[in-house]
Structure 1
């Protein structure tokens, strides 16, 4: 019984055809998670180049037969027809919709018209949220706050044994400080990038885009302890929450 033809064989040619043959076979192999040798073999056996040239010739012939408007028809004066030469949207969407999961392709489509500044802001918010959440997850109450975790057990003829991991308060706190330091550097880098992009397009930016970075800078200064108004009587409880003074916020 002959071996069934792999559906990836046709997919590989479709990718090759969509790029008019101007694509490395190794790249096709990576897309389909196959070896480059397999793709190369399919190309030779199925005569991809001949198929592509034949397809182009047929398409050009059909196009030449259909070219031209009826005599006397002036509807198309000044209109060359079709999308602008640089318009690759349909080609791009066709490629992504064919090879990406539907949900992923839909997400890409939904963010296509988003302002780059707003996309960057969304990422800043995610990073800032992760930092705030870490204040609760990695909170160390005092020097006696020790965490003991069972990490394994074993059995033998003589009995059983257990393996435990003990995390001292100082060790947990040091881990938290290192993690927060790295996270804050990442956040500050993103904020700097936002600031630069904002001022580069200042005249086109909305008031919301201008104001929100100032608000975030103020809150970030509170986390770092750099806020000159930190001792103000108008403190909104932000710092208390971060230092664990508001027990009902952090208690499980």
Structure 2
């Protein structure tokens, strides 16, 4: 499915159109629209139409948990209103806005977001912790002190083999965490409630992971990996 079609559907989403109607209008499956919403649209700052609807609810009757001053949303007695009121009281506005956005995502897509973050960190570490050769040492001043007639400095020297060993240990721990999340995601996507796109994600990621995890192959081109993490350009 083209990015152009997704952008056209996003305009309908901004206007407040329902997922089902968007799917019918553009001739795509309902699961594809839901996947677009969780992966792309909601990351742009939530649905503007939804925000407008939420503002109108401030005028709820006195005593309603949804009324202004309670910080909640939803009908009277709704636990969602009470929960949001609690969040609004203690959390910073930026954190509160993030919670309001991510609560519209399903658990599978939330797990996928964490997989992407973990994988991006592993790829970035290849550059940050790169050891050029055996002569690649790092010397860092870690302390200094001075008195009336004296001055001293303390330096730490990291040899290439020490830096490389630290890198291997850090990558090993990170890969185990990533593999655990991938296994969990793989199991979740075997249910009948996932889209083809969600299933395709894990198949491609497994192929990419095999290149940097024990098969002796290097990643020749990270363009596809970037597309996986940040979306098609």
Q: Secondary structure at the match of 2:189?
A: helix
Tell me, in whole angstroms, the C-alpha distance in 2 between the residues paired with 1:173 and 1:236.
Answer: 21
Shift of 1:95: 1.9
Tell me, in whole angstroms, the C-alpha distance in 1 between the residues paired with 2:195 and 2:139.
Answer: 51
Which segments of 5 or more consecutive residues in structure 2 lack a partner in the other structure?
1-62, 64-73, 223-233
Tell me, in whole angstroms, the C-alpha distance in 2 between the residues paired with 1:175 and 1:134.
Answer: 12
Show the counterpart of 1:182.
173
Shift of 1:226: 2.3
Shift of 1:83: 4.7
Tell me, in whole angstroms, the C-alpha distance in 1 between the residues paired with 2:172 and 2:179.
Answer: 10
Q: Secondary structure at the match of 2:89?
A: helix
| Among 146, 154, 166, the residue aligned to 2:157 | 166
Tell me, in whole angstroms, the C-alpha distance in 2 between the residues paired with 1:150 and 1:96.
Answer: 44
Q: Secondary structure at the match of 1:180?
A: helix
| Among 221, 227, 231, the residue aligned to 1:237 | 221
Show the counterpart of 2:21.
none
**Which stretches of structure 1, 4 residues or more, deviate above 6 A after TM superposition?**
none
Tell me, in whole angstroms, the C-alpha distance in 2 between the residues paired with 1:205 and 1:88.
Answer: 28
Q: Secondary structure at the match of 1:148?
A: strand
Aligned pairs (5 A) from 1:17-96: 83=75, 87-96=78-87
Matched, 1:144 2:135: yes
With normalisation by structure 2, the TM-score equals 0.59
Shift of 1:225: 3.5
Shift of 1:184: 0.3
Residues 1-35 of structure 1 show CA distances to partners (whole Å, capped at 9, x for unaligned) of xxxxxxxxxxxxxxxxxxxxxxxxxxxxxxxxxxx
Show the counterpart of 1:218.
207
With normalisation by structure 1, the TM-score equals 0.55
Tell me, in whole angstroms, the C-alpha distance in 2 between the residues paired with 1:154 and 1:93.
Answer: 52
Which segments of 5 or more consecutive residues in structure 1 lack a partner in the other structure?
1-58, 60-81, 239-252
Higher Rg of the two aligned structures: 1
Measured on the aligned residues, the alpha-carbon RMSD in Å equals 2.2
